[in-house]
Amino acid sequence: MSQAALVNPSLLTWSRERAGLSTEQVAKKLPVKPDRVEEWEAGEAKPTFLQAQKWASLAHIPFGFLFLKQPPAEQLPLPDLRTVGGIAPQRPSLELLDTVRDSIRKRDWYLEYLQHQEHQPLAFVGRFNSRSSVAEVVADIRQTLGVHPDIARLDYDKYTRALIEAAEAAGLLVMRSGIALGSTHRKLEVSEFRGFAISNVFAPVVFIYSSDAPTARLFTLLHELAHIWIGSSGVSDGNSANGRDEERFCNAVAGEFLAPEVQFRALWNAEIDWEENLAPLATRFHISKLAIGRRACDLGYISQAQYSAYYRMILKAFQNEKGGAGDYYRNATAKNSPRLSKAVLTEAMSGRMLLREAGNLLGVQPAKLRTLANKISE
């Protein structure tokens, strides 16, 4: 008979609830009857070591956590700038926690890599603060990225990609994903956050929730870039109401970048229904009707409730149209940042880094690294 694991019953309950799992879901995966799971959590019985190891894997925690006297204190390793009804959420999800930690892990590796490249600090990081002129920050972002506001934008995806390529060329790491740690079973939620920024003068990181509507991703990208320009790190939800000062400032920068206020106010027609303004202004500024709606909300032409309802409609339409998972290698590059991916693959292909280590860092099977390297260099 297998030896029982002397786990702490309260840690079983904590880890299960933390992972958002029901007793039935855990029981099905182990597999045991739900009554057995309830007995373990009540301390009336103990799982075997194998069952406890499977439990830890299901709950996405180190096996040793199940033997602790009490749950470890967990906090976001970045400032939490999100607001729900004007207050910060009580507890971040396990998916958000793991995504932020994974991004920091990759950033730390890249910082060490840069030490051997005699890399200079990036002058634009923290060049301004949240009391700076919004127009000056917008102008500096445009100049640094080399993106002119009058360039024709064929569609929002292409415009977003152009901005990302320019940001990466300037030295930023732009990461995009809709799932945690590459697991399709661990989806991130737009209701929890839209992006985050990790400010660092050598390796700033911007993370974008990629399953959001394309036009909303464009706004989030610019919002997070504004965070880098004021040297601010944090997790954002893009809320325009009841936000913190720096969040409101970054929203203002993103809005001004996409649709300058003076021109917007001159073109907005208060004599017609607000939705009738969206199409002509979208054509004028070469952005989406959703982005125009967002700008109208921030400038006080429509209410937060009106914009939120319109956004939900656009997001639902996008999700209904959304196809399959997409290209594996393109997704791998996007989630890790093209710049970081190239650095890791250069080290791996040259033999200075084990393929196993490179695969672990990028979340890619070692056998697929050479193909990924070839596709990135195309």
- pLDDT-based confidence at residue 75 (cuts at 50, 70, 90): confident
> Is there a single domain that holds both residue 63 and residue 212?
no
> Is there a single domain that holds both residue 226 and residue 284?
no
4 found inside a domain: no
Distances (CA, A) of 169 to 2, 162, 164, 339: 56, 11, 8, 8
236 phi and psi angles, rounded to 5 deg: -120, 155
3 found inside a domain: no
pLDDT digits (tens, 9 = 90+) for 89-130: 667 888 999 999 999 999 999 999 998 877 889 999 999 999
> Is there a single domain that holds both residue 89 and residue 165?
yes
> Is there a single domain that holds both residue 216 and residue 334?
no
Least confident of 15-29, 132-146, 230-244: 230-244
What pLDDT does 285 receive? 84
16 versus 322: the higher-pLDDT residue is 16
Cβ–Cβ under 8 Å, residues 95 and 187: yes
Q: What is the mean pLDDT of residues 26-54?
A: 93
219 found inside a domain: yes
What pLDDT does 152 receive? 46
1 found inside a domain: no
- Mean confidence (pLDDT) of the chain: 89
Is the pLDDT confidence value at 59 over 60? Answer: yes
Cβ–Cβ under 8 Å, residues 241 and 304: yes
What pLDDT does 160 receive? 86
What pLDDT does 89 receive? 61
What pLDDT does 153 receive? 56
Boundaries of domain holding 243 = 77-258
- Closest by CA to 186, choosing from 354, 19, 50, 66, is 19
81 found inside a domain: yes
pLDDT digits (tens, 9 = 90+) for 192-226: 899 999 999 999 999 999 998 888 898 999 999 99
What pLDDT does 366 receive? 94
* Global confidence as pTM: 0.86
Q: How far apart are CA 29 and CA 308, in angstroms?
A: 38
Cα-Cα-Cα-Cα dihedral sign, residues 183, 184, 190, 194: positive
> Is there a single domain that holds both residue 98 and residue 199?
yes
> Is there a single domain that holds both residue 169 and residue 236?
yes
> Is there a single domain that holds both residue 227 and residue 117?
yes
What pLDDT does 83 receive? 67
Q: How many domains does the chain have?
A: 4
**DSSP per-residue string spanning 8-29:** -HHHHHHHHHHTT--HHHHHHH
> Is there a single domain that holds both residue 96 and residue 211?
yes
Q: How far apart are CA 345 and CA 215, in angstroms?
A: 31
> Is there a single domain that holds both residue 25 and residue 58?
yes
Is the pLDDT confidence value at 171 over 90? Answer: yes
> Is there a single domain that holds both residue 85 and residue 50?
no
- Which of 67, 99, 115 is a domain's end point? 67
pLDDT digits (tens, 9 = 90+) for 264-311: 999 999 999 999 999 999 888 878 888 899 999 999 999 999 999 999
- pLDDT-based confidence at residue 155 (cuts at 50, 70, 90): low
> Is there a single domain that holds both residue 114 and residue 195?
yes
What pLDDT does 207 receive? 98
Q: What is the mean pLDDT of residues 339-367?
A: 95
Is the pLDDT confidence value at 150 over 60? Answer: no
What pLDDT does 291 receive? 87
Q: How far apart are CA 91 and CA 372, in angstroms?
A: 36
